[in-house]
């Protein structure tokens, strides 16, 4: 009898933990987008005001950032500086797929990031400025949407974790 109660308790606790993990991933996604916004704003400043070339601007931005995004920006800058003969869009896409696969970005967020890279290294400074501004606006909208949804979805994930644990416990007993 005690083993059954211990097992039931463990099932409820583990399902609750899964719900809490889903809520934490949602919060991490918002934080990642906020970090990306800061880094892209810094990149904009490097390109427009410091008149830095794209590889140098990416490198400085990556060194100022933190986490996987800093690694991503530095990897793109290193590939561009090595001069392997690839276009900026190819390097951006390859590194985004390699480095950012462990990020909690949504499919739409990944697509927006890839689209940003395709358009950033194209044409002149004015076009780069418009591309960066457009991506910053997209990030603002996504961050605002996540901020609005986060409390509700976090409670939902937590509650669903508890309820699924209780449901499994009832079925198993």
Question: What is the extent of the structural domain holding 142?
Answer: 7-172
What CA–CA distance (Å, rounded) separates 11 from 8? 5
* pTM (2 d.p.): 0.85
Q: What integer pLDDT is reported at residue 133 of this predicted model?
A: 93
- Give domain status of residue 140, yes or no: yes
Which of 67, 64, 62, 104 has the alpha carbon at shortest distance from 79? 62
- Give domain status of residue 1, yes or no: no
The answer, yes or no, to whether residue 85 has pLDDT greater than 80, is no
Q: What integer pLDDT is reported at residue 158 of this predicted model?
A: 93
What CA–CA distance (Å, rounded) separates 6 from 3? 5
Question: How many domains are there within the chain?
Answer: 1
Within the chain, residue ranges assigned H as helices are 2-48, 54-64, 67-82, 88-99, 107-120, 125-172
What CA–CA distance (Å, rounded) separates 15 from 70? 34
- Give domain status of residue 107, yes or no: yes
- Give domain status of residue 2, yes or no: no
* Cα three-residue angle 39-67-147, rounded to 5 degrees: 65
Q: What integer pLDDT is reported at residue 173 of this predicted model?
A: 79
What would the pLDDT profile of 105-126 be if each residue is shown by its tens digit?
Answer: 888 888 888 888 888 877 778 8
- Give domain status of residue 72, yes or no: yes
Percentage of residues in the chain having pLDDT higher than 70: 99
């Amino acid at each position: 009898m005690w083993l059954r109660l211990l097992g039931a308790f463990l099932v409820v606790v583990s399902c609750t933990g899964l719900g809490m993990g889903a809520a934490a991933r949602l919060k991490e996604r918002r934080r990642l987008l906020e970090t990306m916004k800061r880094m892209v704003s810094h990149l904009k400043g490097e390109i427009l005001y410091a008149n830095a070339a794209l590889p140098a601007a990416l490198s400085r931005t990556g060194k100022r950032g933190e986490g996987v995004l800093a690694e991503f920006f530095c990897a793109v800058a290193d590939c561009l500086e090595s001069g392997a003969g690839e276009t900026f869009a190819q390097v951006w896409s390859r590194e985004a797929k390699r480095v950012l696969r462990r990020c909690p970005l949504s499919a739409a967020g990944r697509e927006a990031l890839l689209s940003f890279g395709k358009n950033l290294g194209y044409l002149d400074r004015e076009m780069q400025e418009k591309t960066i501004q457009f991506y910053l606006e997209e990030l603002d909208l996504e961050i605002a949407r996540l901020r609005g949804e986060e409390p509700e979805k976090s409670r939902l994930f937590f509650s669903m974790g508890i309820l699924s644990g209780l449901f499994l416990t009832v079925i198993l007993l």
